[in-house]
Structure 1
Amino acid sequence: MALLKKLIPISFVFFSLPILSQTVWAPYQRQLWVRPIFTHSEYNSAYLAKSFAKYDDNVRITAGSLALEYGITDRLTVDFFSGFGKLGRHRIFDRYAGLQQTPEVPDRYGVLDSRLGLRYKIVDEYDSKYRWMPTLSVRVGAIKKGDYDRNPQSLGDGASGGEVTLYYAKDFDIWGLGILGDVAYRKRESPVPDDILYYSAIYKRFLESFFLTIGGRGQIGQGGYAYADPRQAPPYNYYNLTTQDLIPGLNLTDLWIRDQRPAWGRKETFHNLEIGLGYSDSFGNFYNLFYSETYAGYNTAKLKTIGFAVNLPFNI
């Protein structure tokens, strides 16, 4: 049974690629921000409910994406995000002299989940007469699921839906310090559970053009299954419903799990530490190199991610 508990989770450990999200700052009227993004992630272990499992192979995820933001007015912005990703070839288990191997998963490709939204700046700290006032924006957006294969792992959540996000930032105007972040609620089609997402960071500006950002990003699942396969937790771990003499070889529990409790309906929570180094040139272009690593979670991969993004402003 101990070995079975280690093998089962590979059928439902899937992940969402980290996305360099929008911030409270946005383009001004008739200004277009073009932001190409590249990320590479790897993991060889995962948080499985209250357990932790290590695998024999590294799973590698590479993605290229593009974010567009256009200022309709100085306060109202429309944005769009989409991209393309690759899930690299891997074999999670290959041990015990070949007696407990899993099939090798070939390279897989797909369009990432796409996003379209409207963002409105509620308060601008630089227009306020109060020095303590932060900048606040709210965004309402739609999510269109990508075209990737969801089994056994996935480049995204594989479900369309919507989200609402509150962004905040405050420059302290002392020693180049400031804070920024956001909190969001995301709802998608059944059986993918709702999620609360957050990001919070402190930044330090130095040498006029460089920015160091340190913070945390995460997701808190609001529902879903503890395990995709209920036989991994009492009292269902003893269930094995078969048709016996009716249809030999057919297991009703397997059919029920496949159709009623798919992997993408399980609860997923993760918390990442993230550090970034940015540079702004004299033309207003912003370059950002960032790294993040998962330090805690529930039914999620322990990801290590490195990425690079460039924000290019255009007046049109």
Structure 2
Amino acid sequence: MFVELAVPATLAGEGRAAVQAARPALARRLLAATPPYLYLLPALACLVLWTYKPLVEAVQLSFYDWNLLPTSPMTYVGLDKYRQVFTQAGLRHAAVNTVIYIVCLLPFSVVLPTAVALVTRRLGGRSRDVYRALVFTPILVAPVAAAAVWRWLLDPTGLSNQALGWFGLAPHNWLREESTALPAILAITAWSMCGFAVLVVSAGLTGISADYGEAAAIDGATGWQILRWVTLPLLRSTLLFLVLMTVLLSGQWTFPLLDSLTQGGPAESSTNVYYLLWELGFRNFDSGLASAAGIVFFVVFGLIAAGLVALADRFSFHDN
């Protein structure tokens, strides 16, 4: 049994009119939502042009053997370049050096800046700003200019060896011996980056309300207990950010010093993965191996960064 319902023509016309009226309203909403994305368009275009496009091209090059010459053909080699990444001793040695750089720089990017920021926080007035400015000054020096000064200081006839002579010690060629080249680069990098880390920690301390410490002091907490159970937990997001920056950027911070002072030597004792990638691509002209190694290291650092971000989301407390 079927029942036919007749819809009046007036109601059908009203429905069509409502649909037609909704379409311009939707168009107006979309048009109103467009301006913020137009402001983001230049930044997104630069991100695609300078980040994602080279990344896609690097993935493509990692499957080819090519010497970067436009007149030279690209030869498809499949996964051969990736096999070389895991078998070459030079790449493994550079990866180990990179880990050494990261581990040894963490005290100078997290522990020491935290101590300096806590000490200068207790200073009042203009003296606090003066101390922070003195600590921050090294990062304002261009890396190449800083490398030139440190080359003079660490020269066998430089000031450092003259100071050793005052104590009856023999001069040392700091940048040309395997045992001291890497520690010298570490010391210069730590000197340069410590001021930036102090500034970040100081900003994090500024965002912590003094009411928490005062409340804990009223309850009988000592200064150490306030630091251990109040200040440092509230500072965890800042400290995790510094750890993340050290892991991801330590190789880039050391690159100009390596290029200016040691060129990764002697005997590759001071090189890291960033400098080795540059050597593979632009000295040895092996773009395929450089791209494959870059992709492998990109994945490894990406996983580490994802883990640190997850830790930051889980353990950080934000004072709102």
TM bin (shorter chain): under 0.3
- Report the structure, 1 or 2, having the larger strand content: 1
Bigger relative contact order (CA 8 A; separation at least 6):
2
- Report the structure, 1 or 2, having the larger helix content: 2
**Bigger Rg, structure 1 or 2:** 2
TM-score normalized by structure 2? Answer: 0.26
